[in-house]
Amino acid sequence: MSGWLVAGAGTLGVGTYFGWDGFTIQSGNLVVIVVMIILFVLALVVPFPGGKRRK
Amino acid sequence: MSAQTKPAQGLPADDDAHTWTGKARRWMLGKLPPDKLLPEDQPSYVMSWAYVFGMGAIASLLWIIVSGAVLGLNGPQWYHVSSLGSFVNSTHLWSVELFFIFMVVHLWLKFWMAAWRGGRVLTWVTGMLSFVVSIVAAFTGYLLQTNFDSQWIAFEAKDALNSVGVGAWFNVANVGQIFVWHITLLPLAVGAVVVLHVLLVRVHGVVPPLEAAEGDAQLLDASPAPGHPPGPSHPLESANSQDSAEPRDAAR
């Protein structure tokens, strides 16, 4: 039981926050948003692999 | 009792369907015949990364369901203490992260592609609905971490939910109730909406890119219904095929 409580408490973290003029965002959320934007751009510009043309 | 004739064993005649099951079968086969439900090829414009992220979201959802079942069967004392439990717990979280990342990129790409074109409004609506229901499902997952984070989230959220009058039925301080929401009701809702979304994609076909809207032969209906001449299957294609010399933007 005590191990469970310690493990549960151990998941807490302070976290890293970035802020600019009143705007604040947690680092994990910022990373996810940046990854999504990068994937969006790459999906538009990177050619699809495979030369087997269909139909 | 009346005798019924069948054209062949196991193949009932669809023309004389007179029961609700027969009429439903005829309607379903008309809307989604087997070759449209499980197609073997797609138009060439589907060979783009822009058409990959929806399937990525579905793959993530499958692992969310599998890992969630393992977590639910073993319980928090397993996934908080044992190393294997912590690993499965982490894969459950990261598959959710990937699910939302893929779903949001899919949403952005389809928004800029105007994917509701050509009678695909319901496909767009079910996609948005699956996004909203998934957010609620993820929220209940954060409440079930059974640590101090989840306790903090629950007691911050209860005031917001009480202020809009749903706290009695969606009580974030009641772990048992949230557990039911998270492992039965919301997964069923997400699964049902996603299945409906995929079926609608099969019925209407994947949306063509905007650049392909100028009389592209692949947009024309290759297999017209009996009694109908071959031709465009929706107004957008009709507008393009009638006057291909028109500027591209005129048909949008």
A18 sits in the region (left: phi over 0; alpha: psi -120 to 50; else beta) called beta
The yes-or-no verdict on residue A31 having pLDDT over 90 is yes
Name every chain B residue with its beta carbon within 8 A of the beta carbon of A32.
97, 100-101
Q: Supply the pLDDT for residue B118.
A: 87
Query: In this structure, are residues B67 and B92 in contact, taking their beta carbons and an 8 Å threshold?
Result: yes
Q: Hey, are the CB atoms on A35 and B101 less than 8 Å from each other? A: yes
Residue of chain A minimizing CA distance to B101? A36
Query: In this structure, are residues B179 and B12 in contact, taking their beta carbons and an 8 Å threshold?
Result: no
Q: Residue for token digits 């219904």?
A: B225
Architecture of domain B114-209: Up-down Bundle (1.20)
The yes-or-no verdict on residue A24 having pLDDT over 70 is yes
Give this complex's ipTM.
0.74
Q: Is A5 on the interface with B (CB under 8 A)?
A: no
Per-domain residue ranges of chain B: 49-112, 114-209
Q: Is B20 on the interface with A (CB under 8 A)?
A: no
The yes-or-no verdict on residue A51 having pLDDT over 90 is no
Q: Supply the pLDDT for residue A6.
A: 55
CA distances from B213 to A23, A46, B107 (A): 42, 22, 21
Report the residue from A7, A32, A53 with minimal CB separation from B97: A32
Q: Supply the pLDDT for residue B215.
A: 59
Q: Supply the pLDDT for residue B11.
A: 55
Each of the 252 residues of chain B gets a pLDDT tens digit; together they read 444 554 555 555 556 778 999 999 999 999 999 988 998 888 888 888 988 999 999 999 999 999 999 999 998 889 989 999 999 999 999 999 999 999 999 999 999 999 999 899 999 999 999 999 999 999 999 999 888 889 999 999 999 999 999 988 899 999 999 999 999 999 999 999 999 999 999 999 888 888 775 556 566 554 444 444 444 444 444 434 333 333 333 333
3-state secondary structure B78-144: HHHHCHHHHHHHHHHHHHHHHHHHHHHHHHHHHHHCCCCCCCCHHHHHHHHHHHHHHHHHHHHHHHC
Interface of A with B in 34-53 (CB under 8 A): 35-36, 39-40, 42-44, 46, 48, 50, 53
The SS3 of residue B10 is coil
